[in-house]
């Protein structure tokens, strides 16, 4: 019962957020491999360094496709490697989801 209520609340929350671009980030020790699903379902991908300059370059690159306030960034929980980009994006006021790797794996299997 709790999960159904939670899903309804999440759905209501998502309807109130206007998102144009979805950004998936695969995090490794040195790199951020990014896949962006832009307006019109157009897909773009690029690799950035996993450091402060790479984070800023990622933000500039994403802003070419839509205002950053209309982007949803999603990455899997990889411990210390993903912490930098997740906190940098959150501090900049962007919508960020850090997902459990098991959830992502089972979604792909399904």
Mean of the per-residue pLDDT values for the chain? Answer: 81
41 has a pLDDT exceeding 90: no
40 has a pLDDT exceeding 70: yes
Q: Which residues contact 17 (CB under 8 A, 6 or more apart)?
A: 72, 95
- Specify the 3-state DSSP secondary structure of 19: coil
Helix (H) or strand (E) holding 71: strand 71-76
Of 9-13, 71-75, 89-93, the least confident: 9-13
Mean pLDDT of 86-95: 88
Query: Can you give the pLDDT at residue 1?
Result: 45
Q: Under a CB-based contact definition with an 8 Å cutoff, are residues 80 and 27 in contact?
A: no
Q: What is the pLDDT of residues 94-109, one digit of tens each?
A: 888 888 877 766 766 7
User: What is the end-to-end Cα distance of the chain in Å, rounded?
Assistant: 23
- Specify the 3-state DSSP secondary structure of 26: strand
User: What's the predicted TM-score (pTM) here?
Assistant: 0.76
């Amino acid at each position: 019962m709790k999960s159904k209520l939670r899903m309804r609340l999440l759905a209501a929350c998502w309807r109130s957020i206007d998102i144009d671009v979805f950004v998936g980030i695969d995090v490794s020790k040195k790199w951020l491999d990014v896949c962006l699903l832009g307006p019109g379902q157009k897909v773009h991908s690029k690799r950035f360094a996993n450091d402060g300059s790479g984070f800023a370059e990622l933000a500039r690159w994403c802003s070419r496709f839509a205002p950053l306030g209309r982007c949803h960034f999603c990455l899997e929980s990889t411990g210390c490697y993903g912490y930098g980009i997740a906190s940098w994006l959150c501090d900049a006021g962007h919508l960020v989801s850090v997902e459990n790797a098991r959830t992502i794996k089972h979604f792909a299997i399904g």
